[in-house]
């Protein structure tokens, strides 16, 4: 089994897991959502029956607030009723925080002159959307190599040849995903109940080191050929900053298991992408006439700078 | 004594961790948007390098060679945890900017490579000075990059306005750090070429 076949197999394993993760939370939460964000200043709600236009266009009939603090009301600036009068779009003066939950209370909903009573709508992003945002953020928008400058040692070390770059990228992604989940579990079930939060650095790096050692030992027995291909990279992974930064970021922002996994996957794939791009350029650089004092690492740094500039184009990029 | 001074000089210029050995590049690009950040992280690295060099040098006969890497990592993690508790007391607002990287000192390649190459073989006193030299070399590199980026990016030094305008805003952006390091490395290579007459083969592999 060569590296290319291995990469195909790894892709076949990772993709279904990821797709399942994207869809599964959406299925669970689909029943409760009755309103949705349209842009970051708009909320769409549907009433289920045609409502009176004069009632619907009065902003005083709506009360909108964040679920966490019900005391702070957000003023509605304008309302657009759909042609069939069954749904309305509320527009707000200020931008909403799309990662939190909002509640919309409609007072005395009237339909054909009859008062139907109060209706409440819960508006939030679905779990799948949040995960996808985290994934894209870690992979492209805040690429760990080009905008957070993590993992540079390995990035410059193994990006000389395309084949080693691909091998390293895949190994790293797998170790990253698994160790992100393991560190989350350790933090939630061991460190936090025992109030040992200050030990997280030691525990996380210990976990990663033990995990890498375990993979190394298992792979040596189970698949010696693959071990020969990837053995060196496995040991190098322990000194990669990203492998420690992702659990620390997860712990800081209080991410759950799915979020931790997605951040790990995004970081791993982003690193693999950066390695692959860089190795393509560096293979060509070998044949170019570079000034003698720029040979080797200095020109690689300048190339990385150009890449970082182009990755700046992703900033502010969002789908939902 | 002169051999100890030589060890410090060796870490400062001929084997500068950032520009000559090309180890631990991540913080060198990431936190150096101002001199102050660079100084803070540099001091933290000096502390961790010196103390973990001394610790490993004292306990080297107790560490079994086969488990030396995990043992070194644990020693470094111990001293990082200590400095991570001291820094927020000294300067809370600068600490906030470099917090993630202070925690990441654990995985800085320069520290573990000095433990492996030097402190695990030499007695306590030379290990202390080697740690000091490498730490100061790192500090010097961070401050140099930080000064260049802050001066050209925002026209300031240590937060004081000098030019009053922003000459090259790209210097404080992510890309600027890569460019500055690339050019300083090239200048170091040029000096070596002038002094020794040989075309240098620059940089370690990682």
The predicted structure's pLDDT at residue A265: 92
Please tell me the predicted confidence (pLDDT) of residue A266.
Answer: 92
Query: What is the SS3 assignment for A73?
Result: strand
Read off the pLDDT of each residue in A271-293 and give the average, rounded to a whole number: 87
A34-123 topology per CATH: Immunoglobulin-like (2.60.40)
Angle at alpha carbon of residue B103, lines to B180 and B33, rounded to 5°: 25
**Contact: B186, A294; criterion CB under 8 Å:** yes
pLDDT given at position A49: 74
pLDDT in tens, B145-178: 888 888 888 777 777 777 767 777 777 777 888 8
**Mean pLDDT lowest among A94-98, A247-251, B128-132:** A94-98
- Following DSSP, what letter does each residue of B61-105 receive, concatenated? TTS-GGGHHHHHHHHHHHHHHHHHHHHHHH-HHHHHHHHHHHHGG
Which residue among A147, A151, A249 places its CB closest to the CB of B174? Answer: A147
Q: How far is A41 from chain B (nearest CA, A)?
A: 29
Between A36 and B133, residue with greater pLDDT: B133
- Arithmetic mean of pLDDT, B127-151: 87
pLDDT in the model for residue A268: 92
Q: How many contacts does A have with B, using Cβ atoms within 8 A?
A: 141
Q: In the structure, what pLDDT confidence band is assigned to residue B23 with cuts at 50, 70 and 90?
A: confident
Per-residue pLDDT tens digits for A57-83: 777 778 788 777 777 777 788 888 877
CA triplet A229, A231, A233: central angle to 5 degrees? 95
Residue B88: list chain A partners with CB under 8 A. none
Residues on chain B touching A291 (C-beta within 8 angstroms): 186
* pLDDT of the residue at A145: 85
Cβ pair A294:B23 closer than 8 A: no
* Cβ contact B206–A156 (<8 Å): yes
Domain residue ranges in chain A: 3-25+127-314, 34-123
Give the mutation candidate from A293, A294, A296, A300 for the B interface (greatest B CB count, under 10 A).
A293
Question: With an 8 Å Cβ cutoff, are A293 and B186 in contact?
Answer: yes
Alpha-carbon span B173 to A180, nearest angstrom: 29
Nearest CA in chain B to A148: B30
Q: What is the pLDDT of residue B173?
A: 79
Is the CB of B73 less than 8 angstroms away from the CB of A198?
Answer: no
pLDDT of amino acid A27: 46
| Domain assignments of chain B as residue spans, ordered by start | 2-196
Number of Cβ atoms within 10 Å of the Cβ of B21: 20
Task: Indicate the burial class of A197 (C-beta count within 10 angstroms; 0-12, 13-18, 19 or more).
Answer: exposed
- A16 pLDDT band (50/70/90 cuts)? low
| Residues of chain B positioned with their CB less than 8 A from the CB of A148 | 30
Per-residue pLDDT tens for A128-147? 777 888 888 888 888 888 88
Q: What is the pLDDT at residue A11?
A: 61
Tell which wins on pLDDT, B180 or A121.
B180
Q: What is the DSSP letter of B204?
A: -
Residue of B nearest to A233 (CA): B206
For chain B, give the mean pLDDT: 81
């Amino acid at each position: 089994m060569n590296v290319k076949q291995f990469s195909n197999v790894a892709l076949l394993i990772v993709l279904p897991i990821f797709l399942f993760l994207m869809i599964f939370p959406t299925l669970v939460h689909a029943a409760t959502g009755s309103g949705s964000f349209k842009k970051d200043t708009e909320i769409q709600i549907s009433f289920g029956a045609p409502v009176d236009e004069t009632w619907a266009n009065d902003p005083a009939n709506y009360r909108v607030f964040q679920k966490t603090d019900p005391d702070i009301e957000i003023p509605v600036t304008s309302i657009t009723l759909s042609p069939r009068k069954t749904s309305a779009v509320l527009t707000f003066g200020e931008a909403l925080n799309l990662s939190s939950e909002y509640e919309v209370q409609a007072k005395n909903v009237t339909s054909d002159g009859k008062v139907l009573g109060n209706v409440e709508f819960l508006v939030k992003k679905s779990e799948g959307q949040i995960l996808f945002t985290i994934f894209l953020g870690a992979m492209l928008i805040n690429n760990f190599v080009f905008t957070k400058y993590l993992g540079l040692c390995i990035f410059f070390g193994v990006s000389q040849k395309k084949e080693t770059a691909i091998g390293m990228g895949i190994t790293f992604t797998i170790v990253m995903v698994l160790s992100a989940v393991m560190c989350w579990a350790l933090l939630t079930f061991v460190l936090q109940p025992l109030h040992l939060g200050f030990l997280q650095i030691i525990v996380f790096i210990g976990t990663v080191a033990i995990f890498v050692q375990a993979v190394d030992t298992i792979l040596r027995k189970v698949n010696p050929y693959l071990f020969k291909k990837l053995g060196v990279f496995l040991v190098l992974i322990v000194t990669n900053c990203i492998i420690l930064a992702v659990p620390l970021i997860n712990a800081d922002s209080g991410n759950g298991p799915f979020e931790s996994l997605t951040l790990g996957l995004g970081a791993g794939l982003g690193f693999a992408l950066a390695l692959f791009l860089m190795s393509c350029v560096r293979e060509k650089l070998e044949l170019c006439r570079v000034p003698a004092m720029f040979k080797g690492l200095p020109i690689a740094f300048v190339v990385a700078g150009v890449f970082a500039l182009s990755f700046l184009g992703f900033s502010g990029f969002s789908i939902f | 004594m002169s051999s100890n001074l030589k060890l410090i000089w060796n870490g400062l210029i001929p084997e500068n961790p950032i520009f000559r050995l090309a180890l631990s590049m991540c913080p060198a690009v990431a936190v150096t948007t101002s001199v102050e950040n660079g100084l803070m992280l540099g001091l933290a690295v000096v502390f961790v390098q010196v103390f973990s060099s001394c610790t490993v040098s004292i306990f080297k006969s107790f560490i079994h060679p086969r488990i030396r890497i995990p043992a070194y990592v644990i020693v470094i993690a111990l001293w990082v945890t200590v400095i991570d508790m001291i820094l927020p007391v000294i300067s809370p607002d600068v600490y906030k900017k470099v917090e993630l990287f202070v925690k990441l000192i654990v995985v800085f390649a320069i520290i573990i490579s000095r433990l492996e190459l030097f402190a695990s073989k030499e007695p306590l006193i030379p290990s202390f000075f080697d740690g000091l030299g490498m730490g100061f070399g790192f500090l010097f590199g961070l401050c140099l990059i930080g000064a260049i980026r802050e001066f050209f990016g925002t026209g300031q030094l240590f937060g004081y306005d000098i030019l009053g305008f922003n000459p090259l805003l790209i210097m404080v952006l992510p890309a600027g750090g890569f460019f500055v390091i690339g050019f300083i490395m090239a200048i170091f290579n040029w000096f070596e070429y002038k002094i020794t007459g040989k075309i240098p083969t620059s940089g370690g592999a990682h």
